[in-house]
Amino acid sequence: MELINQQVINDNKDIYAKIQKELLSAGTEILIATAWFTDDELYQIVAAKVKEGVRVEVIIADNQENERLDFDSLVAAGAAVFKIRNSGYGIMNQKFCVIDRRIALHGSYNWSVNAKKNNQESIISTNHQETINSLIENFNAIKTKIQEQPGEAGNGTVTNIPKTEKPKSFPTQVSANAGTEFEKVLDSMIAAEVGSFDRKFLREQGFDRAKANSGDHQVLHKAFDTVYSVFINNIDVIDDKKRRLQTKIEEHRVKTRDVLTKACELEIEYRERDASLNKANIESRQSNLETQIATSSKDIDEIRDNKVPMIENQNRELDQKIKKAELEFITPKIKWFELIPTCIFNAALLCYLFVFYSSAAYILLFSVADAKEAEAQNMPIAEAQIFNAHAISKAAEKGWVAVLFICLFVFIPLSFAMADRFIKNKLTTIALFWFGIIFLDGAVAYKVTESIYEVNYARGNFNLPWKTSMAFTDTNFYLVFVFGALGLLMFKFALKKLMQLFEDRNPDILAERNQLFIKQLIMEMGSNAEKITILKDEMCVLEKVVIEREAEVKQIQHELSNLPVTLNHELQKKRSQLISDLETIDKIASIYSIHIESDNLPISVDALKDRINVFLEGWNDYLYHEYAIPKATLKTAQAAEIALVWQNEKLQINKIDKRVKFHTHE
């Protein structure tokens, strides 16, 4: 036996906490029907559950207040939101929630900020399965009402998830079991006509009965029998009610047939448009694939007919050059127009350097001594200059060693200028050359300048004795430095050019260059061979792509040929289903009409269960009003258990009125 856990909650904070707790525990499904839904905290919990994969459906009133929350985002996340306006079906005033089909929360509490903070509210939390099933049926009935008349303004709107890649879906959906849904509506219609009752009065009766018996659950059996008797008496129908029911059944039959027919037509139209769009998409995909095939084939032809042959021709030309270079070895002709001027220039520069540095050597060695000797002999001292034209002849007067030294001195700066001919290290060569120019030539310039100054000082041209710093303000220093450095620099370039002319005719060097040339040609041929390999690999990839695309095109052509057959099969299935549903509707309407004529009205057992639940609500109101919460909860459970026992005993086919109908389809 199922243990019923039912609780009445009157405090707004406790109500909100209960709703929040049950929502957070939801694992599969949440069904919400509430006139106003403006509580953002509850909305965020519902949105989080949608993201977790919980199936969520919401029915709310289509009013300005419910625009405060972004229900479109909820729909985009995967929920279904139904909005119903206040005309057509009366005021939308439902307030219940079913979670995982295991617990229901229903009462006066709207999911609004005002209900949470200001109003006086109450709800019932129950796991009573019949109550849960009844609320789910009510939820589905509201959805059916919204969907039955999609074209009439004000009856209801359904917020759907837009799909850009599909045509807009038809607004109504044919029920999976049209007869069952039609039968449910007729049951609700009959229950409303012959089973209506004053809910407030019945709840007060439950309260008064509990009060009269101090909440003793032992008397509930007789109380439920009384409720049952009143229920059976209300089933009896007079003639005017029969006529009204007959008229309503016929009207609903016609309306349901129209809804089913229109829904079928809309779905057929939708499927035709969907098939047309699919065909266009498939044809577009086929066109794209054919374009890719043409492009890839063109690239293959370009590689095979142009790129590879062009590189192969280059390799053949390179091979001919290699063979020619291996067979032929020609010594280049003498370039007399370069050789003669270069030789003359080198000879002139060599003479210049010999004369210049021999003069400098004589000045820095003997000019001061000559001046002192002339002064000692009271002879006039000759004026000193940066160049002494009689340097060699005067050196000869001093002996052959002086001449030899002066001549050998010239080879010192020349050796620095020709360092690259003896040393292969480029950095060392550059360092030695600039050392010869800057330090050696600078030292010569300094000593020559000092000697000239000493001679002129001896002649009385200057009053101050020589100081080192005077060299950098004396014009003679810069003249000697520039004439020497410029001569060395020009001699270096001229000698290099002369050596180059002879090296160009050197057989060993020519052979080495020829081998290097052949090696470069072979490397270029290898690079071209790698390019050919890459191009052939690329061509293989493109050929594979072409084969795959051609296979896809064949598959697409097969799909296109099957589209009409598949569409016709689906449409025929829909039309057959419509015919079957219409026949079922007519049959059910006829059966109900016969029952009405024979005073054998079928009324849902849920109508009886609803009365029992309302009576129990009044009974539980007294318990929570009179006793402490723990005791009231215990007595509520006892009352629910008695109700379940009574239902199990009473709701047997042989013990209940034959007009009470059980939902055997569930």
Determine the average pLDDT of the residues in 27-44. 90
pLDDT on residue 105: 92
Q: For residues 298 and 439, which has the higher predicted lDDT (pLDDT)?
A: 298
Q: For residues 232 and 360, which has the higher predicted lDDT (pLDDT)?
A: 360
Cα angle vertex 592, ends 647, 581, to 5°?
Answer: 105
CA distance 516 to 416: 32
pLDDT on residue 504: 65
If DSSP codes are grouped into helix, strand and coil, which group holds residue 653?
coil
Determine the average pLDDT of the residues in 513-537. 86
Least confident of 158-172, 220-234, 482-496: 158-172
Amino acid identity, residue 309? P
pLDDT tens-digit profile of 311-321? 989 888 888 88
Q: For residues 164 and 448, which has the higher predicted lDDT (pLDDT)?
A: 448
pLDDT surpasses 90 at 534? yes
378: left (phi over 0), alpha (psi -120 to 50) or beta: left
pLDDT on residue 301: 92
| Percentage with pLDDT > 70 across the chain | 85
pLDDT tens-digit profile of 538-568? 989 999 999 998 998 998 888 888 889 888 9
pLDDT surpasses 90 at 231? no
Residue 235: pLDDT band (50, 70, 90) is low
Q: Kindly report the average pLDDT of the chain as a whole number.
A: 80
Neighbours of 281 (CB within 10 A): 11
pLDDT tens-digit profile of 580-625? 888 888 888 888 888 777 666 666 677 778 788 888 888 888 888 8
Q: In the block, which residue shows the tokens 């998409």?
A: 281
pLDDT on residue 33: 92
| Percentage with pLDDT > 90 across the chain | 8
Q: In the block, which residue shows the tokens 């909860």?
A: 633
pLDDT tens-digit profile of 42-95? 999 999 999 888 889 999 988 777 888 888 888 888 898 988 876 544 467 788
Contacts of 71 (CB under 8 A, 6+ apart): 58, 60, 81, 159
Which domains does the chain possess?
1-162 (3.30.870.10), 336-504 (no CATH)
pLDDT on residue 655: 62
Residue 356: pLDDT band (50, 70, 90) is confident
pLDDT on residue 86: 61
CB 628 within 8 A of CB 621: no
From residue 309, alpha-carbon distances to 315, 530, 642 in Å are 10, 14, 98
pLDDT on residue 601: 62
**What pairs with residue 105 in β-bridges?**
97, 125
CB 159 within 8 A of CB 82: yes
Torsion of CA 430, 432, 436, 437, to 10 degrees: 20
pLDDT surpasses 70 at 492? yes
pLDDT surpasses 90 at 499? no
pLDDT on residue 165: 38
pLDDT on residue 59: 92
Rg of the chain over all Cα atoms, to the nearest angstrom: 58
Closest of 38, 3, 9 to residue 21, by C-alpha: 9
Which secondary-structure segment (H or E) carries 196? none
CA atoms within 13 A on the CB side of 614: 19
Determine the average pLDDT of the residues in 115-122. 80
**17 phi and psi angles, rounded to 5 deg:** -65, -40
pLDDT surpasses 50 at 462? yes
* pTM score: 0.36
**159 phi and psi angles, rounded to 5 deg:** -85, 120
Determine the average pLDDT of the residues in 205-222. 85
pLDDT tens-digit profile of 142-168? 888 776 654 433 344 444 433 333 333
pLDDT on residue 168: 38
63: left (phi over 0), alpha (psi -120 to 50) or beta: beta
Q: For residues 197 and 11, which has the higher predicted lDDT (pLDDT)?
A: 11
CA distance 562 to 508: 82
Q: For residues 185 and 580, which has the higher predicted lDDT (pLDDT)?
A: 580
pLDDT on residue 473: 87
pLDDT on residue 581: 87
pLDDT tens-digit profile of 281-326? 888 888 888 888 999 999 999 998 998 999 989 888 888 888 777 6
Q: For residues 583 and 650, which has the higher predicted lDDT (pLDDT)?
A: 583
Residue 260: pLDDT band (50, 70, 90) is confident
Residue 666: pLDDT band (50, 70, 90) is very low
Q: Give the 3-state secondary structure of 220-265.
A: HHHHHHHHHHHHHHHHCCCHHHHHHHHHHHHHHHHHHHHHHHHHHH
